[in-house]
Amino acid sequence: MANQKIAILGAGPSGLAQLRAFEAARRAGVKDLPEIVCYEKQNDIGGMWNYTWRTGLDKNGEPVHGSMYRYLWSNGPKECLEFADYSFDEHFGRAIPSYPPRAVLKDYIMGRIDKEAILKYIRFECPVRWVTYDKSSKKFTVTVMNHKTGEQETNEFDYVVVATGHFSTPNMPYFDGVEQFPGRVLHAHDFRDALEFEGQNILLVGASYSAEDIGSQCYKYGAKSVTISYRSNALGFEWPEGLEEKPLLTHFEGNIGHFADGSSKQFDAIIMCTGYLFHFPFLPDELRLQTHNCLYPDNLYKGMFFQNNPQLIYLGMQDQYFTFNMFDAQAWFARDVMLNRIQLPDTDTCRDDINEWLSRYDKTESCNDSIDFQASYIRELVDATDYPDFAVEKQADLLKQWLLDKQENIMGFREKAYRSTVTDTMATELPGRWLDIKDDSLEGFMSLRFVEPHKESA
């Protein structure tokens, strides 16, 4: 192993999980570890959780990675993303509510990183430009642009772990007349501050997490009206007055949007909440994962190992009910394959296994089925490694409750509290309505007077 080299592309939660997995092995006394280099486009760790005010291009002229915005609060209970080897209690030293704002979650992610042990592997401001594979040497060549030196660098690796995320390159549809729309037209990727839309009539196209959350944000921060236009299914929540759903937008005439049901409305701004493209501009076709946002991308054995070349490993490419702990489960499994502790089966057996998971996925009908599906995927990975066991099935139950809570009150679900499956600690409650708490900073949130949960909800 010692003379093996591994490239990790990206230092977001998935890339960090991979670094942490090797670090855990080192701490457990494994001596013969491979050499690791992690290339990161940004100048810090944290991936999507780094808030940036920039849109378009970054200071180096690279596409801005960040899609997160001010006032973003966790959209799922923190109890369902808790690291099994680093609890919220360990980080904060006391119980906090179940839905923290972005800065609080980022603080938690960063808290687990032993900076001294991990940062030395990361090369910041080094976007990966190109990756090739040589069949005879069985090695990858990775070329990066080092913006710190202004020079390109090329190195060879035995494994490449792609952890570059998939919520960064906008899927931007066209609607007739949009080019004449007189107001702002942007994608959710470029949305930064809901206050920009205070007093405006805004149209959100798309009906998934981004539309739900950006719509709620804009309502919270004073938009005059929010209209969500859906293509397949409405989100279907009981929205407060001022927020409504309409079927698909057909076209614009000036600032008037027309919808499939024949209705129309005047808008000041349009936000396309139409999802993201899987975009790997640094990969040639034969190495490139081609998929859409789903729970089991095809051609990935165990959701990670590229069928055409299992030395190429993709982390975090699934749509995500579970996040950080799923990335950990993947990273530990991937590490054990790279350390030869787990042997990958032959190509046909991998294909059969992928097919088996895809056919299970085909049978999922409801959101609850999807949650169970992802939980069983994680269970399989966790059972195969020494990642600390955690109650993924109980977390799946919490996610099902989360869905019910959103149905009950889409503007108030973040006031609910859940019990940690890792430490058994019951979360505290927010001291007031989520709608009324406007400061999303770490300091502001941690200085709130959290309320001990009522006995019955505990």
Would you count residue 170 as binding ligand FAD (CB under 6 A)?
Answer: no
| Among 7, 8, 23, 47, interactor with ligand FAD by CB under 6 A | 47
Terminus-to-terminus CA distance in the chain, angstroms? 48
CA angle in degrees (0–180, nearest 5) for 121-311-354: 125
DSSP 121: G
Q: Which stretch binds ligand FAD (CB under 6 A): 42-50, 195-203, 338-346, 387-395?
A: 42-50
Would you count residue 171 as binding ligand NA7 (CB under 6 A)?
Answer: yes
173 binds, options ligand NA7, ligand FAD, none, Cβ within 5 to 8 A by partner type: ligand NA7
Q: Which stretch binds ligand NA7 (CB under 6 A): 13-21, 96-104, 207-215, 306-314?
A: 207-215
Residue 164 neighbours by CB distance under 10 Å? 30
- CB under 8 Å to 352, separation ≥6 — which residues? none
CA dihedral 46→413→376→14, nearest 10 degrees, is 0
Would you count residue 207 as binding ligand NA7 (CB under 6 A)?
Answer: yes
**86 Cα distance to chain centroid:** 19
Would you count residue 247 as binding ligand NA7 (CB under 6 A)?
Answer: no
Residues 62-81 close enough to bind ligand NA7 by CB under 6 A:
75
Q: What are the structure tokens assigned to 356, written together?
A: 């088996």
In whole angstroms, the minimum distance from the beta carbon of 65 to ligand FAD comes to: 4
Q: Which stretch binds ligand FAD (CB under 6 A): 38-46, 114-122, 257-265, 449-457?
A: 38-46
Residues 295-334 close enough to bind ligand NA7 by CB under 6 A:
320
Would you count residue 210 as binding ligand NA7 (CB under 6 A)?
Answer: yes
Q: How many residues bind ligand FAD (CB under 6 A)?
A: 32
216 binds, options ligand FAD, ligand NA7, none, Cβ within 5 to 8 A by partner type: none
In whole angstroms, the minimum distance from the beta carbon of 323 to ligand NA7 comes to: 8
Nearest CA to 353 out of 305, 298, 315, 302 is that of: 302
Would you count residue 274 as binding ligand NA7 (CB under 6 A)?
Answer: yes
The strand pairing partners of 257, in sequence order, are: 252, 265
- Tokens 């890792």 correspond to 422
Nearest CA to 405 out of 238, 220, 245, 240 is that of: 238
Nearer to ligand FAD, 259 or 305 (CB): 305
| Among 19, 38, 205, 313, interactor with ligand NA7 by CB under 6 A | 205
Under 8 Å between Cβ of 300 and 354: yes
Strand pairing category for 264-266 and 128-134 = unpaired
Q: How many residues bind ligand NA7 (CB under 6 A)?
A: 19
- Tokens 């069983």 correspond to 376
Rg of the chain taking only CA atoms, in angstroms: 22
Residue numbers at the binding site for ligand NA7 (CB under 6 A)? 75, 167, 171, 173, 188, 205-210, 231-232, 248, 273-275, 293, 320
